[in-house]
A and B are shown apart, each in its own frame.
Chain A
Amino acid sequence: MITTPHDVKDYRAHLKKALKNQFLATTLDNFATAYRASRARAFENIDLEGLIQEIAEGKDASIPYLEELFALFKTRAENAGVKVHVARTATDANEIISSIAKANGVRKIVKGKSMTAEETFLNAHLEKEGYQVTETDLGEWIIQLRHEGPSHMVMPAIHLSRRQVAELFTEVTGKYQDPDDINGMVKVARRELRQAFLEADMGITGANFAIAETGTIALLTNEGNGRLVTTMPRVHVALVGFDKLIPDLKSALRVLHVLPRNATGQAISTYLTWITGANECTTGPAGRKEMHIVFLDNGRLALARDPVFSRALRCIRCGACANVCPIYKLVGGHNYGHVYIGAIGLILTYFYHGRENARAIVQNCLNCQACKSVCPTGIDLPHLIKEVYRTVLEAEGKKPIKNVLLSRALKDRRLFHFLLRRAYLAQQPLAGGEPLMRHLPMFLSKEHGFRSLPVLAKRPLRDIWDRINPRVQNPRYRVALFGGCLVDFVYPEQAEALLKVSKDYKVQFEYPMDQSCCGLPAKMMGENKTARELAVQNLQAMDPAAYDYVLTLCASCGSHLKKNYPGLLANDAGLQVKVQQLKDKVIDFSSFMQNVLQVSSEKFAGTYKKVAYHSPCHLCRGLQVTKEPRELMKTAGLDYVSAPDEDVCCGFGGSFSIDFPEISAELLKRKLDNVEATGAEALVTDCPGCVLQLRGGMDKRGAGKIEVMHIAELVADTLKK
């Protein structure tokens, strides 16, 4: 039923197909927009940051003690008449549950929604054993009838249109269902499933929490099916992952502050049920429910001990990581996970469903940080996704050729820069004297033709630096410029713009010549050793203590230096002070201009050019800078026109755009469509990577339609002469 491609080639074929699904595109786009608004409303007046921190700390404190929590839970639950089981594997869980059914003369089963039961493929097993299983959550019932897996952890049927559901219900009931009568279709489910509740011998649910101090399980639903599944049948089996165990009611209430709000924008789900022990059930043995709780391991206990991946067990299954993922929005959940969907799905698939199922999907991540920015338990999802990718590569023992080549080149700065200079010569025939290549180098195929590629600079920044950088008498600030590969070798003019705007502000810039690639591309490929070596090189090249600031024109570099260097160099005892100093001093262009230099609007000619803005992922989410670029445009007398989805990824993602060009192209198209609709004459951004993508895409639309620039360039252009 659920099949996931095992290699990228096959996966890309599925993705291409999904991209053509107009209904899916529209419905997920509408959802993404609606979700953003409803989540903001739900968290108004709530200190979300503080709450996330508390929840993360609480989870991290209990994850190492899952087995102890289990022991306590078991004692309490058994005292209250519950039979508690442990399933080491998915197969164990399925067999335990079917043997409970057998022992109790069960024929018909009703199920509440449970991702854990999806994980073990419980329904398939029970049906094979001859039991009739009926899903009772509307979305789950629909996909059960269609023999599909869920396409979202909270809204399993979100990928289906009303017409598809109407056709399904017409078939199931034998009566015509009007696709526009959604209420009517819901009432079909109410009627049909009512019978199932009344006839069932056994109810199976999951649980949102398993509270150790009282032996209580808690269930959240909106439909009311959880209550019926746990009341009408004489047997109740709850299948619960070990990671659902929490110490006390207080912890549950804390998580409840965020779970419904983050999942669906509701302050609380309609029905929250707290079940302790075997409750009254007039059809059960001795008037009590035959109550069983099956705790599933399936790798969770080992995960709990893993120093890198244990954080993944913080997940409370809210589904938000899918809701904000720009790739999920394009291709839907069947193509963005295996059983578990979204960013957490890319991680858990490796552990619960194996490397084969994880191998391709785990590569489909832009590292745009959207998921991390909404995770209510503070999981660094993009980091874990790359770590899973690295783990897959290590397990398979054979690296992709690009990893080998890139590592080799990056580790040796002189070699790397030599190759770049040679590449300049090599690309001349393709460029034909233009700043953009419109014909592709041969190692790229025609799918990569959605954007023109830039030509390498004839003279990189490091070669012209001494000529263009003035010596300042009694400078107020000493600032190291970290160029990054793109500014140095492709867009040195962006640094020239920086110098132009900074003139008269008494800033002495320096360009430490031994700096190299920041190392982000290496980390993205799972080459952590190389990334670490580059971090060491860069810290040796520029001592943060010698400067007031370390300025970057590239948000990706800035975010990597600030946020990732500490983790990469955690084991380098001698470098901790430098790492911290670097973290404190890294600053982006817009923030430097607005907050440090406080550039005056009098310096600008007030052209009031209509300008649109693209917010780089690594600026708004990586560095948490959002207002400075907009303020800077205002200071510079530009007429900033806002566009929808300014902070959605442009689709570059470095090598992502080479690996998944169709996704990259579609994200780029939507971005440029939004910008064109504003009527802007120019588009600015704070990242040369985004400039590459946006300018390349804009070029394909009709050369020079809207000028795409680094914000430094446009701001420099509007200076008074």
Chain B
Amino acid sequence: MEKQVNLKEMLKEKAQEVQSIVFEIGSLEEAFHYAIDITRKQGGTVLAAPGLGNQDASAFFAFQALCEEKGMSLLKEDLRAQVGRLHTGFTVADYGIAETATIVQDSSSEDLRIATMLSEIHVAVLPASCIVFDAVSLENEMKRFMDSPPNYLAFLSGASRTADIERVLTIGVHGPQELHILILAEDRA
């Protein structure tokens, strides 16, 4: 337990260094509200939660209902056609790596990739019990993904950035301009 708390704290600390925004939440529903609020604050109207749709249909519908209440839409699939509208990508991460504040996301689904690549911001729920210390700790899990191809495994460690112009760090190049990590205290989403 203590080790997990330390890992959580380490992830929060390291996340600051890469400009990721981290909050702790108590339930998935909190995450839904968070995503809706931040989207509205930023003037967006469309969210996408493709993975959620596949993992837990009832959770998806609950989220969708909340979105519609606030005048927003939640998309589930066929995102290729919706690329221009997407503001927020919402996912539940598979693992987190504390050492580098990394979100590990199985992204074999095209919709999941589009939601996390072409959105303006990415909100990722990370179950606290899934946080490990370093990438090496995930070696077996990674191998399992790679041993059942096809597989597209993503390590996301912050918002898209570059320093290509005069080495001045600029956030938000091709990927999402912000990465929000919501650490979920419960073991189950």
Contact = CB atoms under 8 A, between A and B. Distances in A.
Nearest to B160: A224
B173 A190 contact: yes
Given A187-B172, A190-B172, A231 B165 contact: no
A219 to B, nearest CB: 10
Given A27-B166, A182-B166, A268-B102, A275 B152 contact: yes
A278 interface: yes
Contacts of B147: 214
A138 B163 CA distance: 9
Interface residues of A, number: 68
A158 B100 CA distance: 26
B160 A279 contact: no
B96 interface: no
A224 B174 contact: yes
Contacts of B139: 249-250, 253
Interface stretch (B33-41, B106-114, B123-131): B106-114
A136 B18 CA distance: 22
A345 interface: no
Q: Which of B14, B151, B160, B173 has the most CB of A within 10 A?
A: B173
A231 B175 contact: no
Contact of B113 (A185, A186, A231, A277): A231
B83 interface: yes
B110 A155 contact: no
Given A31-B167, A81-B150, A186-B162, A279 B108 contact: yes
Nearest to A185: B165
A288 B114 CA distance: 15
A158 B80 contact: no
B135 interface: yes
Contacts of B136: 250, 253
B56 interface: no
A204 to B, nearest CB: 16
B135 A256 contact: yes
Contacts of B168: 162, 182
Q: Which of B142, B151, B155, B164 has the most CB of A within 10 A?
A: B164
Interface string A190-229: 1001100110000000000001001110000011110110
B170 A279 contact: no
Given A182-B165, A225-B174, A227-B175, A270 B159 contact: yes
Nearest to B81: A282
B51 interface: no
Interface in B141-162: 142-143, 145-147, 149-162
Contact of A278 (B117, B150, B153): B150
B24 interface: no
A274 B172 contact: no
A270 B18 CA distance: 8
Contacts of A267: 14, 17, 99-100, 157
B155 to A, nearest CB: 4
Contact of B149 (A34, A80, A256): A80
Given A225-B174, A270-B157, A214 B164 contact: no
A664 B174 CA distance: 43
A53 interface: no
Contacts of A139: 162, 164
Given A215-B149, A223-B174, A277-B149, A138 B162 contact: yes
B108 A268 contact: no
Nearest to A214: B146
Contacts of A243: none
16 contacts: A76-B149, A81-B150, A155-B167, A190-B172, A214-B146, A214-B149, A224-B160, A224-B174, A264-B163, A272-B155, A273-B154, A274-B142, A274-B145, A274-B155, A277-B151, A281-B110
Given A189-B173, A193-B174, A274-B142, 12 more contacts: A79-B149, A139-B164, A182-B170, A215-B149, A222-B160, A223-B173, A227-B174, A230-B152, A267-B100, A270-B159, A274-B155, A276-B152
Nearest 3 pairs of A and B residues by beta carbon = A224-B175, A277-B150, A277-B149
